[in-house]
Amino acid sequence: MTFWCEHAQLPDGVAARVRLVVEGGAIAAVERDADAEPGDERLAGLVLPGLANAHSHVFHRALRGRTHDDGGTFWTWRERMYAVAARLDPDRYLALARAAYAEMALAGTTSVGELHYLHHRPDGAPYDDPHAMAAALVQAAADAGVRLTLLDTCYLAGGLDATGSMPLAPEQRRFSDGDAERWAARHEGVRTLAGERVVVGAAIHSVRAVPAAALGTVVAAAAGAPLHVHLSEQPAENDACRAAYGITPTRLLADHGVLGPRTTAVHAIHLTPADIGLLGSSGTAVCACPTTEADLADGIGPFPALTAAGSPLCLGTDQHVTSDVLVEAQRLDAHERLRTGERAGLGPAALLRAATEHGRRALGQPGGRLEPGAPADLVALDLATPRTAGTDPAQTVQVATGADVRTVVVAGETIVRDGVHRLGDVGALLADAVAPLWEDT
């Protein structure tokens, strides 16, 4: 199988007339300045490596356009999130995740990191199959054609204050296994869901939800796999951690062996200079989710300082204000320009690395570059739309959105062709999946 690209984003820049020879789902050869040959699949426009969405809560997709009527805060937003979570069972979870992953694919995402904590029934009792909810996510990703890193999440406490960890609220019971040892035991079973396009990793929901004494158990269970953690998304989290432990959340994680090159800190907004140094010197990746961070009024993170300190930067769509990694990249760049008052921003090359190879690395997945040996995950952007016409292909990442995606290929298999997903009408799938979650509310 061979793809002929009008333009392709190669590791050293954009090149014209590139042939990508694919064997066994991977790129076997990259031929530059090549003519198309009979049998080649022609990809017009600009071909990028498949985009990586390093942080998703797929059930939050049901909240889009449903939480803006009365303002509020991050903490009041959570109440509606809990209400939606309570209405999900394995079948509804599968329907929503399948549609949401297909929507991501339409926008060029080929790899998704799903931070999953809807483990049990709403009352906290396990399903007959204790992995039914996780299996629904794996099936949804397979149906949508995307790669999945399933981040099985430890969630044990209802919050944190000066007295320590707080009991779970009723709406949080389904998230918890009771203690870290029982989470680790269940996690061993979740690992059996790994496959050719599925990586199983772990997550610490946050220092609010996982007591300090339990952190080491999660780290041990995740050994050799990706480990993600929400970090310092809100000042209140930092205040609670200092009140309970006398140190920042980053310091707490460092002291318990959580940080390191296999770990990704999600958000990492409200950091001290010492926190930045701990994350960077340990090689801990940082995942920015700019549209969510703007929607929830979280703030703007010190992302250039983190990358300068040594933390690779990746991107996630989190609560799915948009399911478009290109928009996340552009919003990240815009936030930095607004923060500094300078147009330098992060630049197309850094944004592309965040959206591709750094995201794949955070997910424990190889690739993210168009080079021999990399997975044949490709995204073709139309360079003749009202958004992209007349642009320099090398700067397309600054202006294109998911609406400009025409073709998406995963492991050499085309899952989006001419802007249409193989599952058909994704809008209808989403509408059908979301509607039952808001009935009688």
Q: What residues are labeled active site? A: 267, 318
Residue 352 CB neighbours (<10 A):
24
Distance from the Cα of residue 392 to its chain's centroid: 28
First and final CA of the chain: distance in angstroms?
51
Residue 44 buriedness (CB in 10 A; 0-12 / 13-18 / 19+): middle
Tokens of 147: 């790669």
Q: Which residues contact 38 (CB under 8 A, 6 or more apart)?
A: none
Which of 132, 182, 187 shows the shortest CA–CA distance to 156? 182
* Run of H or E including 272: none
Amino acid type, 423: L
d(CA 383, CA 403): 11
Cβ atoms within 10 A of the Cβ of 388, count?
Answer: 20
CA neighbours closer than 13 Å in the CB half-sphere of residue 185: 8
The Cα 80–Cα 227 span in angstroms is 27
Which of helix, strand or coil describes residue 362?
helix
Ramachandran angles phi, psi of 316, nearest 5°: -140, 160
d(C-alpha 48, C-alpha 95), whole Å: 29
* C-alpha distances out from residue 85 to 56, 149, 188, 430, Å: 15, 21, 24, 16
Closest CA to 50 of 385, 389, 387, 381: 381
Torsion 91-138-176-205 (CA) sign = negative
Residues 6 or more apart whose Cβ sits within 8 Å of residue 68: none
115 DSSP β-pair partners: 151
